[in-house]
Chain A
Amino acid sequence: MNEGLAAGMAQGITHPWFWPGMVLLALVACYSVYRVADLPGGRWVGMATAGLFGVWVVAFWEILVRALDVPRVLLPAPSLILGAMVEHAPKLWGDFVQTVGKAVLIGWALGCGLGFGVAVAIDRLPFLQRGLLPVASLTSAIPLVGVAPIAVMWFGFEWQSKAAVVVLMTFFPMLVSCLAGLQAAGKLERELMVSFAAGYWRTLLALRLPAALPFIFGALKVNATLALIGAIVAEFFGSPTVGLGFRISTEAARMNMPLVWGAIVVAAVIGSLAYALLVALERRVTFWHPAVREG
């Protein structure tokens, strides 16, 4: 940003009041977060506390990086990162469209949809369930992301190969959660459905799928993060010249750290937004669930 200001800050560290000032500021920060956390109120106070904490962390990051004159290759100041993001906004937008708009969204939707479909399809086949469930559970212990080089070999450098990795990574968590969720409806409720003379499909739609929703949302949330990881890792094995993973690896190789951090901020914001959106959707859809009603 302002070179003169930066130089002034760098000299500031020799000022006798610099470190006492920092300690004082840290105390103020701790006290303010503590007071806000103690305010009466529900979710909004929690979000305000977390937000304030984040603001203080960024502020200290900015001050210390400038004052200690940390090389920007090591740790760029937040203002530098923001500057790089603004400067390269069209590039980052292209990366966003490539990685998130195509690979992640399509892969995530396909993987989750397939997992859900297979779970419902084999719901009436206990034999297949008993066979698939142990195998599918075991896949959680396997680093599935390792198929990325194979996917790139099969489906080429474009987004299709990334989507394929994402489909594979998201399929099994959804299958396992969905199968568990379909068994979640209580015996009492099922018997009630029988006494209403409700058939299989009626019971599925009116009772068992709603009861499975918390499980399904759990898998959707986990999968949102997995999908981002999968797509970005797959880009490392070969990609067109756009994409968040491509940006991060090439800019890191050129030691252009502010832009690397910028791409990470984009990825983190997308991940958090997706998570927050899914949580909001879950609260609306499963309003009847005790965990939601309490909060």
Chain B
Amino acid sequence: MGIMAEAEPPRSAAARVAAPEIGANGGEFSRLAVAKFVYTWLPVGVVLLFVLVAWYVAAWVLNAPGAIERVLDAEVGYTWQELFMATMGMERPLIPAPHQVLLDLFESLTGWPLDSPRNLLFHVAVTGQSTLIGFAMGTVLGLVLSVLIVHSRTLDKALLPWIVASQTVPVLAIAPIVLVLLGSLGFSGVAPKAVIAMYLCFFPVTVAMVQGLRSPQTIETEMMHTYAASRWQALWLLRLPAALPFLFPALRVGVAAGLVGAMVAELPTGAQAGLGAKLLTGSYYGQTVQIWSALVMSALLGLTLTGAVAAVQRLVLRHRGGL
């Protein structure tokens, strides 16, 4: 804005007077925006840069013994530049350098068709599918449970402690059992993975919704009472809207937990496809770079899923300012 005002010759006196003002305002505004941007992102950038440098240094130091042993010829001798280059491009490094992981990702994403098991997006789709199905089932289960618990003193006392206890059972432990049980009922493939994802998803939703459905104050519930509102009306018109701000953070936690569940579920099921299966095959064959790129992909998937939930949250809660 400021630059434009200076570049264009002012046409009238009024414009001449007004122009610097606008320019000053715009300049101040943009300076403020820049300052805000720097304030927020510079520290994050520095931290990320530090992580990147540390990663390279770690790759150099940790891969050096292997490189000396396998790549370089000790009798001929080598300079440290040669050693550095050798540690950066090893076949099966202890830690692959960041650019190796990126190259592997790029190759996998662009070099193969989408339905090839060599393409990581294929595995992302497999894991993402069971995560989303499990997430949907877990959310519904959590909502139903929380409504029941809020409306029944008995269920509140009898169920809630067991719901908390259910989360202390490690997921991988129940995976084989879910597999056997569902397998005998004729379900295989996505269903067991989705059920395990659901097992992790429903908990945060239940706990947050119990809290959220109870969040309306006495005065508000009493007002519903004076309107002779039924329990259902009170639930629909008062409790559910009041619980929405509690629901969305829980959904974000839930979808991330569901991804962990879906990935872990792929381990004992001997799945052929999916990010968890990719990790397992990578670890069987010592393909370090493959493990790391699968890890990066799963991190991206997790960030995308929670980002999507956050976007829905902004959309839904848009009219409620400040939330």
Contact = CB atoms under 8 A, between A and B. Distances in A.
Given A75-B181, A142-B302, A150-B291, A228 B170 contact: yes
B268 A149 contact: no
Contacts of A245: 170, 172-173
B294 interface: yes
Nearest to A227: B170
Contacts, number: 172
**Secondary structure dominating the interface of B:** helix
Contacts of A127: 43, 46
Given A46-B161, A149-B282, A153-B283, A232 B154 contact: no
Contact of A271 (B170, B279, B298, B302): B170
Interface in B223-255: 252-253
Of B158, B161, B165, B299, chain A has the most CB atoms within 10 Å of the CB of: B158
B169 A143 contact: no
A266 B50 CA distance: 42
B256 A146 contact: no
B295 A146 contact: yes
Interface in B138-193: 153-154, 156-162, 164-165, 167-174, 176-177, 180-181, 184
Contacts of A285: none
Interface stretch (A5-13, A191-199, A256-264): A256-264
A47 B161 CA distance: 8
Given A142-B302, A149-B283, A154-B94, A50 B158 contact: yes
Give the one of A74, A142, A225 with max B CB within 10 A. Answer: A142
B262 to A, nearest CB: 9
A244 interface: yes
Given A131-B46, A267-B169, A257 B180 contact: yes
A134 interface: yes
Interface residues of B, number: 62
A146 B263 contact: yes
Contact of A153 (B42, B172, B288): B288
Interface stretch (A20-28, A31-39, A111-119, A203-211): A31-39
Contact of B298 (A47, A142, A257): A142
Interface string A117-153: 0000000000111111011001011110111111011
A37 B159 CA distance: 11
Given A37-B157, A146-B298, A153-B286, A268 B168 contact: yes
B129 to A, nearest CB: 16
A232 B47 contact: no
B40 interface: yes
B260 A143 contact: yes
Interface of A: 33-34, 37-38, 45-47, 49-50, 52-54, 73-75, 127-132, 134-135, 138, 140-143, 145-150, 152-154, 224-225, 228-229, 232-233, 236-238, 244-245, 248-249, 252, 255, 257, 260-261, 263-264, 267-268, 270-272, 274-275
